[in-house]
Amino acid sequence: MRLYDYVLNRSELLDLMVDVVYARIAEVGLHSEWRATVLAVAHATRDAALDHEWFSDLLGGRPHLGPHALAVGEATAAALSQAPGVRGIDDLQRALGALNAFIIGAVRREVTERRTARSTGTDEAAWQASLGPYLTRMLKTGRYPTVARLVIDGAHLNAEETFNHNLITVLDGITSRPRT
């Protein structure tokens, strides 16, 4: 049995694989409140990308148009259209763009860190520890006071906490947009 007897090419195979992942994301369903739907879809997308790292490589380009991908897109757009800061189709497009940019960027950063840890054998904590003396010297120069505050005083959240906090910040920004 040859795989390409069933699909035309690698691109078609990837389209089918991507839509299977979107089927899992779509399982979170719709919630009665717009924010709950968006949060569920965003977290399901992150979870799916962490389980299928190749999926993150395919996010952010042209939209996926399989039935499950379209269902996720519809659920997300319908929910976001109910957000207080979204007052029309232009606002909705911008809100979706900001949300998607955040999700894709956050997921890709996390997947890249995982891949780097595997390929180097050094996790993020060990990498940070190895650079500690250098960073300490650089921060002591006084040329990077804001970076120093971030490193020394900033909350050091894990990836899931960071994703959730930043996602809520994005949604709060969408809803607090003043009328123009």
Domains of the chain: 3-123+158-175 (1.10.357.10)
pLDDT in tens, the chain (180 residues): 566 677 778 888 899 999 999 999 999 988 999 999 999 999 999 999 999 999 999 999 889 999 999 999 999 999 999 999 899 999 999 999 999 999 999 999 999 999 999 999 998 889 889 999 999 999 999 999 999 999 999 888 899 999 999 999 999 999 986 655
Closest by CA position to 17, among listed 89, 170, 1, 9 = 9
pLDDT tens digits along 20-38: 999 999 999 889 999 999 9
Between CA 87 and CA 173 the distance in angstroms is: 14
CA distances from 73 to 68, 130, 131, 143, 147 (A): 9, 42, 41, 45, 37
Q: Are 78 and 47 in contact (CB under 8 A)?
A: no
Are 108 and 59 contacting, i.e. CB atoms less than 8 angstroms apart?
A: yes
